[in-house]
Structure 1
Amino acid sequence: MTRKNRVVLYGRFALILMAFAMIGGVVAEPLLRPLWSSRLTVAQK
């Protein structure tokens, strides 16, 4: 396997992993939003 072919193969794997990570982030964002939001409120007199 030449160097160019190896770079192309690794690039494809990287793109596939990035696609799964983005889809996972979109799916997980509504589920994780309550954990990120602060429960602290500020009251003024």
Structure 2
Amino acid sequence: MTRKDRVALYGRIGLVLASFAIIGGVVAAPLLRPLWSPGLAVAQR
């Protein structure tokens, strides 16, 4: 396997992993939003 083929293979694997991470983030964001920012109540007089 030449260096060029190895770089192409690693590039493809990197793109696949990045796309899974982006899709997972888009799917998980609405589910995790209540955990990140709990509702705060501000009392005014």
Query: Distance in 1 between the 2:40 and 2:23 partners?
Result: 30
Q: Which ranges in structure 1 are unaligned for 5 or more consecutive residues?
A: none
Unpaired runs of 5+ in structure 2? none
Q: TM-score with structure 2 length normalisation? A: 0.84
Which contiguous aligned blocks of 4+ residues in structure 1 show a shift greater than 4 angstroms?
none
> Scaled by the length of structure 1, what TM-score is found?
0.84
Identity over aligned pairs, percent: 71
Instruction: Kindly tell me the number of residue pairs found equivalent between the two proteins.
Output: 45
